[in-house]
Amino acid sequence: MSAVSQAHIEQALLSYTIPHLDRSPLSAGAVESIDVDGGMVTIAIKLPFAVASLKADMQKAIVGLISELPGVSNVSVEIGWDIPVIKQQQDMRNMERVKNIIAVASGKGGVGKSTTSVNLALALARDGAKVGLLDADIYGPSQQLMLGIEEDQRPEQEGQQYLLPVEAYGLKTMSMGYLVTDKTPMVWRGPMAGGALNQLLAQTWWGELDYLIIDMPPGTGDIQLTLSQKAAVAGAVIVTTPQDIALLDAQKGIEMFNKVQVPILGIVENMAIHICSKCGHQEHIFGEGGGDRIAADYQVPLLGALPLSMSIRQQTDSGKPTVVAAPDSDEAQLYGEIARNMAVQLANTASQLSVAPTIVVKDD
């Protein structure tokens, strides 16, 4: 039996493409080590985004490739992740362990931004990331209902200065909805709403998070400006529907984030297609290809498209969003793919994938 060749191992790894990266572990700089002990090969891979739901399939595929090499008797593949810090938070002690803030925004209401926000946050958590969700819609908070949190639930306090997030489905969450009742309208001028968001940001003790997803209110007003001024936002995701009026407002959202130098991670096209539950007929009710067009115009990726689905609405209204209510459904898988695409785009902004790999080969 011939000895295992380092070159052969590397060549085999080059033929494997990491999901969502479209690159091999070597070219992505994700190979931490290759250990060879006789016919036993151990490979350690570390990614800049979480992949818990894909890990077993990835290991199986890489083990299969390496096992075919001459002289290999056993293969072990370790896959982990270390999510990089894109923008360090400044002067906010309560957020010093929050690695990345991602704003999920839209130019107009009614495009499913809050539903998208909560499902993307849950998808990231399902993949193994530590995730928080801040409902920044001061006038119309909805995440409390979407997460099934009781109306009388109130945050506990940490000392005299901070509030502790309310936990739901593995997420750390905060919302104005926890501090008022649904019968208490926020009859505030813009600066007051901006001040309320600043308090939620500065007085919530988030602890250690890989991502803090902020569900933004629609529009381009005081709340958006307050966020960009008070927090180091790593990136923004724009949610739109394919119809022309929604795309026009989405463009305004993109331009706003460009002006405050927040990178656009990509576009999510919601309600892209309707599939009849009775006959299976597919119809583009709100138009077709709008997400592709706006992504191309601004040279940002289309992170994914979601259907107009009654189940998504029913599950979210019942307090159990799709990713946790039906984790094996097509819709939940779409949310997972979009969340990973988003995480990859975020990691790319830090050039984490361009670092040359460090490979240690032990031939005992």
| Domain identity same for 309 and 246 | yes
Do 31 and 171 have their domain in common? Answer: no
- 140 and 117 co-located in one domain: yes
Residue 345 placed within a domain: no
Residue 230 pLDDT greater than 70, yes or no:
yes
Residue 61 CB: number of other CB atoms within 10 A? 14
CA torsion sign for 307, 313, 315, 321 is positive
Tokens 């975020």 found at: 346
| Amino acid at residue number 237 | V
* Burial 187-206, CB ≥16 within 10 A → b, else e: eeeeeebbebbbebbbebbb
Q: Is residue 339 part of a domain?
A: no
Distance CA 118, CA 132 (A): 10
pLDDT 10s digits, 48-75 = 999 999 999 999 999 999 999 988 999 9
Tens of pLDDT, residue by residue over 93-149, are 888 899 999 999 987 778 889 999 999 999 999 999 999 999 988 777 889 999 999
Model pLDDT, residue 195: 67
- Residue 363: the pLDDT is 46
On whether residue 320 sits in a domain, the answer given is yes
Exposed, middle or buried, 80 (CB in 10 Å: 0-12/13-18/19+)? middle
Contact between 136 and 216 under an 8 Å Cβ cutoff? The reply is yes
Residue 239: which residues within 8 A CB-CB, separation 6 or more?
104, 105, 106, 111, 112, 113, 116, 250, 267, 268, 270
Q: Which long-range contacts (CB under 8 A, 24 or more apart) does 325-333 make?
A: 327/126, 331/306, 331/307, 332/119, 332/123
Residue 269's beta-bridge partner residues? 240, 305
Same domain for 35 and 105, yes or no, is no
pLDDT digits (tens, 9 = 90+) for 309-354: 889 999 999 999 999 999 999 999 999 999 999 999 999 887 544 4
More confident residue, 182 or 358: 182
Query: Could you list the residue range(s) of the whole structural domain that residue 55 is in?
Result: 6-82
Backbone angles phi, psi at 325, to 5 degrees: -75, -40
Q: Give this prediction's pTM.
A: 0.90
Same domain, 170 and 112: yes
What is the tally of structural domains in the chain?
Answer: 2
Query: How crowded is residue 181: how many other Cβ atoms within 10 Å of its Cβ?
Result: 8
Write down the residue that tokens 């599950």 correspond to: 315
**Beta strands at 274-275 and 264-269: parallel, antiparallel or unpaired:** unpaired
